[in-house]
C-alpha cells in the first residue's frame, strides 16, 4: 500500500518568508509525528498528533512553528518568518496509534528546507 | 545523561564480519524497542523491534534486550557493504512516542 508522502520534496525560501510543509500519513494510521533533522545530526522531535486528542507540541523550537492536522489525516507544518537555522530535512512519520504494534513509526521521504 | 545513548561511530567492520551496535536508555518504563536504519540522504526505515528480554532474530539481524541493564543491541551477521548506514535505537516511552538516539554510523568495508 501507499506509504507516508510529503510535499514538497525540496523547498528553497528566503529568510523571513513563511513556508508550509505537507504530510499525508498511511491510511488508517491515527498517530502522526513531525521531526527535524539537520545535516549530520539526529532526529529532533517537533510535534505529535494522536487521533482527536490535543497534540503534543513540546518539541516545537519556537512560536514561529505550528502544525495542524485536518480530519485526522493530512497534516501541515507551518514555519513563519523563516530563519537560516530552520534549514533542515523535515520528516513526517505515522503509526497505528493505540493498538497492537502501535508504536512502529513509518517515515515519509522528507522535505529538505533551505533558507537563504 | 541523554535519554538514549549510542556511540556515534563510525564503526568499521570488514565484509562478512559481525557488526555489534549498542544502545543504553534511561527510562526504566520503556517496554518496546525499535531499530531503524538510515541511509545517507534517506529517511529512517524500521528494521527490527523487540519487546521481551532476550534475543530476537530476523534473518541476518538479531536484537538483544536486557531491561535490567537498560541495554539493547543489534547484531548484524555476515555484514555486507549495503549494510553501511546509520542505525538508530528508539525506545518507546510513556508519552506514547519513540525517543531516538543519535545513531551509530556503520561502515562495512569490502
**Average confidence score pLDDT of chain B:** 93
The pLDDT assigned to A52 comes to 83
Cβ within 8 Å, pair B98-A42? no
Give the mean model confidence (pLDDT) for residues A34-46.
91
Alpha helices in A7-80 (DSSP H): none
Q: Which residues have CB under 8 Å from B37's CB, separation 6+?
A: B44, B45, B47, B85, B86, B87, B88
In chain B, % of residues over pLDDT 90: 82
Q: Give the separation between CA B69 and CA B52, rounded to whole angstroms.
A: 13
Shortest distance, CA A32 to any CA of chain B (angstroms): 10
User: Is the separation of the CB atoms in B57 and B50 below 8 Å?
Assistant: no
Cβ within 8 Å, pair B46-A109? no
Residue of A nearest to B49 (CA): A104
Cβ within 8 Å, pair B96-A98? yes
Chain A interface, best mutation among B8, B44, B93, by max A CB count within 10 A: B44
Instruction: Please list, residue by residue across B48-66, b when 16 or more beta carbons sit within 10 angstroms of its beta carbon and e when fewer do.
Output: bbbeeeeeeeeeebbbbbe
User: Is the separation of the CB atoms in B44 and B36 below 8 Å?
Assistant: yes
Residue of B nearest to A3 (CA): B45
Grade residue A60 by pLDDT with cuts at 50, 70 and 90: very high
* A41: pLDDT strictly greater than 90: no
The pLDDT assigned to A102 comes to 67
Query: Between A and B, how many residue pairs show a Cβ–Cβ distance under 8 A?
Result: 44
Shortest distance, CA A93 to any CA of chain B (angstroms): 10
Amino acid at each position: 500500500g501507499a506509504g507516508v508522502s510529503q510535499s514538497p520534496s525540496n523547498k528553497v525560501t528566503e529568510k523571513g518568508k513563511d513556508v508550509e510543509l505537507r504530510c499525508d500519513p498511511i491510511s488508517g494510521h491515527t498517530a502522526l509525528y513531525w521531526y527535524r533533522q539537520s545535516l549530520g545530526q539526529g532526529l529532533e522531535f517537533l510535534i505529535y498528533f494522536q487521533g482527536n486528542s490535543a497534540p503534543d507540541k513540546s518539541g516545537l523550537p519556537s512560536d514561529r512553528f505550528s502544525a495542524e492536522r485536518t480530519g485526522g489525516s493530512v497534516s501541515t507544518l507551518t514555519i513563519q518568518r523563516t530563519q537560516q537555522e530552520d534549514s533542515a530535512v523535515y520528516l513526517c512519520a505515522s503509526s497505528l496509534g493505540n493498538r497492537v504494534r502501535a508504536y512502529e513509526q513509518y517515515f515519509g521521504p522528507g522535505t529538505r528546507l533551505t533558507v537563504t | 545523561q541523554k535519554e538514549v545513548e549510542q556511540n556515534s561511530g563510525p564503526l568499521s567492520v570488514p565484509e562478512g564480519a559481525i557488526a555489534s551496535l549498542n544502545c543504553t536508555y534511561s527510562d526504566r518504563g520503556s517496554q518496546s524497542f525499535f531499530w531503524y536504519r538510515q541511509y545517507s540522504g534517506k529517511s529512517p526505515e524500521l528494521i527490527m523491534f523487540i519487546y521481551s528480554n532476550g534475543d530476537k532474530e530476523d534473518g541476518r539481524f538479531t536484537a538483544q534486550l536486557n531491561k535490567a541493564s537498560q541495554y539493547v543491541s543489534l547484531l548484524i551477521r555476515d555484514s555486507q557493504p549495503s549494510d553501511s548506514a546509520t542505525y538508530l535505537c528508539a525506545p518507546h516511552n510513556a508519552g506514547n512516542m519513540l525517543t531516538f538516539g543519535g545513531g551509530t554510523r556503520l561502515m562495512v568495508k569490502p
